[in-house]
Homo-oligomer: A and B are copies of this chain.
Amino acid sequence: MFNVDISSSTPIYQQLADSVKEGILKGLLEPGEKLPSVRELAKTMTLNPNTIQKAYQELERQKVIVTLRGKGTYISSDYKPRKDEDKLMEVKELFKKGIVEAHYMGFRKDDILNMIDELLKELEGVENDD
């Protein structure tokens, strides 16, 4: 949980946000659950509070979490998927790039589908939720 690689080129705040979303799908974080406070998480991860803040704000913007003033930050318990043309394109680009790169590593169609299958199992939330 809350895995970030500071040597990665993708921003820390984004890795953190992605990691929360992934944690929810894996069932490591449950709807309604309280997230660590900005300061606390900053201390345990030895990151600047602003960085944590930015991750939390990004997640709130996406309605993945809600912040209750003075009380803390919580996993949304009423998340509703939203159709977004831009987002769809973005997802397709991710998959497309994944397929292209996989091809250049010598993967064939079946190898790719197997990899996807494994990942889908790991992220069980995709299969089971509502």
Chain A residues with a Cβ under 8 A of chain B: 6-7, 9, 11-12, 18, 21-22, 25, 61-62, 64, 66-69, 79, 81-84, 87-88, 90-92, 94-109, 112-113, 115-116, 119-120, 122-123, 125-127
A101 contacts across to B, CB distance below 8 A: 87, 90-91, 94
Q: Is the CB of B119 within 8 A of A66?
A: no
User: Taking the full assembly, how many copies of this chain does it contain?
Assistant: 4
Q: Given the complex, which residues of B lie within 8 Å of A96, measured CB to CB? A: 22, 119, 122-123
A sample of 20 inter-chain contacts (CB < 8 A) reads: A7-B68, A11-B69, A12-B69, A22-B100, A25-B103, A62-B104, A81-B106, A87-B105, A91-B115, A94-B98, A95-B119, A96-B122, A98-B98, A99-B119, A99-B120, A99-B123, A99-B126, A103-B123, A112-B126, A116-B116
* Closest 6 pairs (CB-CB, A-B): A81-B106, A94-B98, A7-B66, A95-B98, A103-B126, A91-B101
Q: Residues of B contacting A116 with CB < 8 Å?
A: 95, 99, 112-113, 116
Chain B residues near A112 (CB-CB < 8 A):
116, 120, 126
Main secondary structure of the interface of A (DSSP, over half): helix
- Looking at the complex, which one of B21, B109, B115 makes contact with A104 (CB distance below 8 Å)? B21
Cβ B92 vs Cβ A105 within 8 A: no
